[in-house]
Amino acid sequence: MTYLPKGWKKTRLRIYARDHGICWVCGRLASLDSYDLDHVIARQYGGGDEDYNLRVAHPGCNRGRTPRRQKARLPWSTPSRW
Ligand SMILES: [Zn+2]
């Protein structure tokens, strides 16, 4: 992360508390030691650092969402029988 707005640490904790530490991608608890904040609307599309535009995500889940790797996400969860 190269861009850290003022008070980012506080923001991180606030969002973590708000989302109960639940990763929005996979719905599982993210570790307080290592979690990312994901922008609902990416900065490049005009999204800001306001609370409503941020949500908790595992670093891995967050990265897996980039278009380049989307195809490889959770292949084992696809039902094979129905
Ligand atoms: Zn996750």
For residues 1 and 38, the model is more confident at: 38
Residue 55: partners with Cβ closer than 8 Å, 6 or more residues away: 15, 19, 24, 37, 38, 40
pLDDT score at 69 = 45
pLDDT tens digits along 11-55: 999 999 999 999 999 999 999 999 999 999 999 999 999 999 999
**If residue 54 lies in a helix (H) or strand (E), which one and from where to where?**
strand 54-57
Distance 44 CA to ligand 1 centre (A): 23
Alpha carbons within 13 A on the beta-carbon side of 65: 17
Cα–Cα nearest to 13, from 73, 67, 56: 56
For residues 6 and 50, the model is more confident at: 50
| Cβ < 5 A residues, ion ligand 1 | 23, 25-26, 58, 61
pLDDT score at 26 = 95
Distances, alpha carbon 24 to alpha carbons 1, 2, 36, in Å: 20, 23, 11
Distance 48 CA to ligand 1 centre (A): 22
Q: Is the pLDDT score of 68 beyond 90?
A: no
